[in-house]
Amino acid sequence: MSLSVPQHILDALTDVAMPRLGNAPDTGERMTVDGFDVPVFRAGSLVIGSGAAGLRAAVEMKRRAVDVTIISQSAWGGTSACSGSDKQTLHTANTKDQGDNFQDMAAAIRSGGAMDEDTAYIEAIGSIRAMASLQYLGLPLPQDELGGTLRYQTDHDEVGRATSCGPRTSRLMVKVLAEEALRLGIPFYNHTTAVKVLTKQEGDQLRVIGVLTIRPKTSTDANPYGLALFQCEALVFAAGGPGEMYRDSVFPNGCFGTLGLALETGLALVNITESQFGIGTRREGFPWNLSGTYVQVIPHIYSLDADGQEHHFLADYYRTTQEMASNIFRKGYQWPFHASRMLNFESSLVDLAIYREGQKGRRVFLDFNRNLLPVPGDQDFSLDRLDPDVGDYLKRSGANQDLPIDRLRHMNPLAIELYKRYKVDITADPLEFAVNHQHMNGGIAVDTWGRTNIAGIYAVGEAAGTHGATRPGGSALNAGQVFGTRVAEHIAASGRAAAPANSDARPQTGDAVAAILAVLNADSPYAVADVRREIQARMSDHAGILCHAIDVERAHQDARKLSQAVRENGLSFTRNNEAARVVQWQQMALASEAVLAALDFYIAQGGGSRGARAICDPDGASLPRSRTGPLPEVRFRPERADDMQSQILVRLVGNDMAVTTRPIRTFDTQAKSVFERDWPAWLTGGIFDLADETGTT
């Protein structure tokens, strides 16, 4: 893409208008519970969330004659519609310059460890279908003149499987899926927050029967909080990740996810020790990942102290200007922080340096109108003095312009247009940024069909714990599409959700309402603002990219105390329309406790540094170095090979977090399918394993 691309094309790829929702169907059914007049809505299957994964599940269910309804806290306000998901990682066998195979792609997806091998293969083989169906719906994935998909290298991907419609790729995915959902007539209830899942004992297992929500539109004098009941036979968690858990976060505001709700329901969580952190602009302005061409054009990076003094701090870490410039470039496709890349003067030393500047109270900026200043005593920056991989990439791209902003205009003018939409002109002004939490790789534990440990409940997208310690960039979008389809296939095959639920949920609704009222305590000494501040500071300061055993242990105990106090006292509020947020912060306190419990367990068991976090240890075998010498304060434990073959599970048992481990599910890569032998299982539905109604988690 170059300056020859007309402005109207750039506008169309940047200003992605979402479809308007019609009026949701009303209900004439009501239930009186504890004096509250609660409306009752019925569906066969209920999807919590309106992002790319949830919409995919809903659309695929509707196509299979499932009676499906969507509820959403804020339509088009989640991560996939608003955040910097700019690529999708897919099988690339249809490209002319390099082939691929599903086994290789599965190996790349699970290469970080702690990921079920069968899940990785499912995501690999399902990517072809996900891509083709999105193209059918109108997603403008770029092609060459022979129909091959244009793609490039991304995080943890040496092949080059990523493709992109520009910085709004995931929003465009949401758009085409939303348009299809509306075309199919799927009921959509916006501004509806799930606050309690209803279950009942059926034989020797729990089964979902509905969800209590807070829906302000239904509030009346007899129902001041807007409580509403949605009964269902199947439930799909698809409400994304816990963006509000961290102070330093690139998630859009208001992204709570449903980990606390899942724990209260009795669901198992997996891999919640694993997240992604990386450089991005702050939530207070326009939150966005600064990956790809933002750093591949090699802008000048500096910090400002409280006195306005400028610091060329990266020059304290790298030995030469060439080394510094080349590693800034590599942040484009090595965007997430990774502990091992702090070693040998590699690219995560950039993240460490930026993080430490923030700890000093300094503000850090990208300046696209200046080339990188040199390392003291070394030569000036030059495009002719870069590491071979970096120099070759820029030459192939034709990015030989004098200034970073001109290289950015040439390589990716959409990157400039995007910030302009939020009144940030990077052609004129420096861009403030920091190291932020961007994605949780863990979530609700599911099996190969997206089933949880409670019958009828499924999870997809970032709500599901289908990733390991690391993942290729863009593979999360693919995972949501693949598992959204598989969940729909399984729910349809079960036959339970073909018609609206008709069971009597009065006893369970009464219990749920009582639990919510216990949280909504106007006289509680605990205010939402204080709880939010405490949770976010604790997570960003003690569970970010640098973790110390004693700090994590103390943070875990403090989180446990807070969660227990909120459980006993509820949270105060002043207006009825704050009710949903109050419950979400109570559940976030629980989710934060769970993450720290798992992390504390992992570190106490001797776990080392993997993925997003360096486990700092004065006796650790890995010692990062800077230009001026060793950095003993960030000496860390390397990852143990055995930990790559297991996962950490967390459940809420009574008032305590039960933390256990299990080996990953393995997959026989040599197994061969035989048409005549295996076809009957497809014809009869045997592949869906319907005799067992819960996942093997």
pLDDT in tens, 673-693: 899 999 999 999 999 999 887
CA 355 to centroid of chain Cα atoms:
21
Helix (H, G, I), strand (E, B) or coil at 458: strand
pLDDT of residue 696: 58
Q: Does residue 211 contact residue 196 with C-beta atoms inside 8 Å? A: yes
Instruction: State pLDDT tens for residues 509-552.
Output: 999 999 999 999 999 999 999 999 999 999 999 999 999 999 99
- Residue 382: closest CA among 367, 406, 400, 366: 400
Angle between helices 579-604 and 549-569 (to 10 degrees): 150
Element (H, E) at 386: none
How is residue 353 written in tokens? 């340096």
pLDDT along the chain (697 residues), means of 10: 69 85 93 95 98 97 98 88 62 60 87 94 92 93 85 73 82 94 97 98 94 96 97 97 94 92 98 95 84 94 97 98 98 92 97 96 97 96 96 94 96 89 93 94 97 98 94 85 97 97 95 97 96 97 97 98 97 95 98 98 96 95 97 97 96 97 92 92 94 73
Q: How confident is the model over 382-394, as pLDDT tens digits? A: 999 999 999 999 9
Strand order in the sheet with 188-189: 188-189, 68-71, 45-48, 234-237, 457-459
Tell me the H-state helices in 383-474.
388-396, 404-411, 413-420
Q: Which fold has domain 521-663?
A: Methane Monooxygenase Hydroxylase; Chain G, domain 1 (1.20.58)
Q: Are 594 and 650 in contact (CB under 8 A)?
A: yes
| Pairing of the two strands 205-214 and 227-231 | antiparallel
Q: Dig out the tokens for 178 from the structure.
A: 């939303």
Joined together, the tokens standing for residue 502 give 């008709």
At position 298, the amino acid (one-letter code) is: I
Q: How far apart are the first and last CA of the chain?
A: 45
CATH (one of 3.10.20.30, 3.30.70.141, 3.90.780.10, 3.50.50.60) for 42-276+439-500: 3.50.50.60
pLDDT at 694: 83
pLDDT of amino acid 1: 41
Beta carbons within 8 Å of 484's beta carbon, 6+ residues apart: 52, 53, 54, 55, 56, 57, 60, 238, 460, 461
What is the reported pLDDT for 421?
Answer: 85
pLDDT for 100 equals 73
What gap in Å lies between CA 259 and CA 163, rounded to an integer? 30
- Which residues lie closer than 8 Å to 605 by C-beta, 6 or more apart? none
The reported pLDDT for the residue numbered 3 is 46
Of how many residues is the chain composed? Answer: 697
Identity of the residue numbered 40: V
To which residue do tokens 């293969």 refer? Answer: 121
Please calculate the CA angle 5-85-344 and round it to the nearest 5 degrees.
100
- Strand segments (E) across 215-362: 227-231, 234-237, 269-270, 275-281, 288-289, 299-304, 310-311
Report the pLDDT value the prediction gives residue 59, as an integer from 0 to 100: 98
Sign of CA dihedral 610, 90, 252, 69: negative
Angle subtended at Cα 470 by Cα 465 and Cα 475, rounded to the nearest 5 degrees = 70
Residues of the chain with CATH 1.20.58.100: 521-663
